[in-house]
Chain A
């Protein structure tokens, strides 16, 4: 048995050696692309190296490797057929691809602050913007303010502009969320992946709860990430969400993603300490709170 294991290791070892295939310093961060076996990952930091931003299975490009990527689809349980999608933070361009397959007619606005990330997504992660997609290299707050001035709205907004190492503070405040809310259609949904932990966790939940009448969090056992799902009107019933999940099972199979756990773990009453101070443009020590 041991010998068999050792033999297996010997066979697998070369395949599992991590190899950095691209490295660049952009205006905002260090960008690394690392291959490990058939998995190719986008990383933003070298030292705390296990913080992958986005991963692609080279043998099975559709497979969603990260639980959080699957969790970003939770909004489909309450807004099953989005027509206008806005995604903040491109990463490897994984989610736009999923939405292209699920809702081919929907338009997608993809906002990414870092031009280099867009280039890397195209070059190393097979990201091909379709005719339905528009990539905007811009700060999301500025983008949304301009969009609001032109009266643009979306029915599926994803916030994925946060890394574990640095959180853009102006994208977590009450004022920002109010701008997002204004850009959301009446039955639209906001799905946010923010990496919040420690003291920031409560502050974030409280701020979202102050802006959105309906707020849920989705957590899965396999990951520490949590996703916040928010709407301007009450959520559809648990039965409706379950039905939406059932309907998604087939189309999501191709992405090796099961929507049922999302419906099961859709917690419509996320808890936070009552006396939590809200995050505002005046008070947003986001990264300091994250470290407490």
Chain B
């Protein structure tokens, strides 16, 4: 039961990460254009943030790993996406006025907007591996399966967003739905954790 839940959550995490990355281009375009370096900035920020997230997530899993803390990562991710709705435009305007070069402008803006939530979401994968692995000899297989599920989620997040969501919804609505999905994941994990605590 818990295993299936962890895979479901890792899938959603992967889905959300790539959906946000794709929307990133949309969000930055009005201020920094859609030149190739704008995509370069976004991808760089996501890669750096994910790599740090993997590192921190792995470290975090050493101490008292629990499904409850796992759920907290999702809730944290959802909350860190918050500033995107409220302050996104004023933040990009500030960067735009301060930084003349759109390369560094877009890098700085993607850093400010996407870095923290992506670090948080990057912690999900290593933490999932820790929760799933029961014996040393299966660790590689479990990690492989986990990467399969979360990367497949990323693929669907990319496809869904670029083919359909942007046709159906506004950018803010998609972001809201993604945050909602993360919150739901967090709630599911906390629910799953509850009985264990009572016992």
Contact = CB atoms under 8 A, between A and B. Distances in A.
Nearest to B89: A281
Q: How large is the interface on A (under 10, 10 to 19, 20 to 34, 35 or more residues)?
A: 20 to 34
A288 B166 contact: yes
B171 A139 contact: no
Interface string B157-199: 0000001001101111000000000000000000000000000
Interface stretch (B25-33, B58-66, B67-75, B139-147): B25-33
Contacts of B134: none
A282 B169 CA distance: 8
A288 to B, nearest CB: 5
B34 interface: yes
Given A113-B35, A139-B102, A170-B34, A285 B96 contact: no
B167 A139 contact: no
A269 to B, nearest CB: 29
Contacts of B171: 281-283
Interface string B59-100: 000000000000000000000000000000000000011001
A141 B166 contact: no
Interface string A136-162: 001111100110010000000000000
Contact of A285 (B29, B36, B167, B172): B167
Interface in A264-281: 280-281
B166 A285 contact: yes
Interface string A164-205: 000011100101100000000000000000000000000000
A230 B34 CA distance: 25
A168 B97 contact: no
Range class of the B interface residue count? 20 to 34
Interface string B13-46: 0000000000000100111111110000000000
Contacts of A138: 33, 102
Contact of B32 (A139, A173, A282): A139
Contacts of A281: 26, 29-30, 171
A6 interface: no
B33 A170 contact: yes
A142 B102 contact: yes
A142 B33 contact: yes
Given A145-B96, A288-B167, A176 B36 contact: no
Contact of A141 (B30, B36, B97, B172): B30
Contact of A175 (B30, B100, B167): B30
Contacts of A146: 100
A142 B172 contact: no
Interface of B: 26, 29-36, 96-97, 100, 102, 163, 166-167, 169-172
List the 8 closest pairs (A to B, CB-CB), nearest first: A139-B33, A170-B29, A282-B170, A285-B167, A142-B33, A27-B36, A285-B166, A281-B30
16 contacts: A113-B33, A139-B32, A141-B30, A142-B102, A145-B31, A145-B96, A169-B26, A169-B34, A170-B30, A176-B30, A280-B170, A281-B30, A283-B170, A283-B171, A285-B166, A288-B163
